[in-house]
Amino acid sequence: MLKILQGTAFARLAPWGLALAITLGAVFRLIWGEDIEFKGDEAYTLHFAASGAQGEEPFPWLGMRSSAGFKNPGMSVWAFMIFGYCFEITDAPTLARCVQICSILALIAYIPFIRRLVKEDEREGWYWGVALMALNPLAVILHRKIWPPSLFPLITLAFLLGWLKRGNPWGAFLLGLIAALIGQFQMAGFIMAAAFFFWAILFDRQSVRWVPLIAGALLGTLPMLPWIYEMVFIRDFETPNRAASLSYLFEGMFWLRWIIQPFGLETVYPSLKADFFDFLRYPILFGVPSYLVAIVHLLLIGTVIALAIRGMARLWQTRSQWFDQFTGRSSPTGFTLSAAFWGCGLLFSATLRPFRYHYGLVSMPLSFVWAARSTLTLAKHGRALLLFVCVGNGLLSAWFLDYIHQNQRKIQGDYGLPYQAQLVHPQELPTYAGKPVLADRRVSRTGPP
* Tens-digit pLDDT profile for residues 278-309: 999 999 999 999 999 999 999 999 999 999 99
| pTM summary value | 0.92
Q: What is the pLDDT of residue 435?
A: 59
Q: Is the model more confident about 192 or about 444?
A: 192
- Share of residues in the chain with pLDDT > 90 (%): 65
Question: What pLDDT score does 4 carry?
Answer: 67
Give the residue extent of every domain in the chain.
13-443
- Please report the pLDDT score of residue 389 as a whole number: 97
Predicted pLDDT of residue 441? 38
**Assign residue 172 a region: left if phi > 0, alpha if psi is -120 to 50, beta otherwise?**
alpha
Span 34-93, pLDDT tens digits: 999 998 889 889 988 887 666 667 888 998 887 777 888 999 999 999 998 888 888 899
Residues 5-21 have a mean pLDDT of: 83
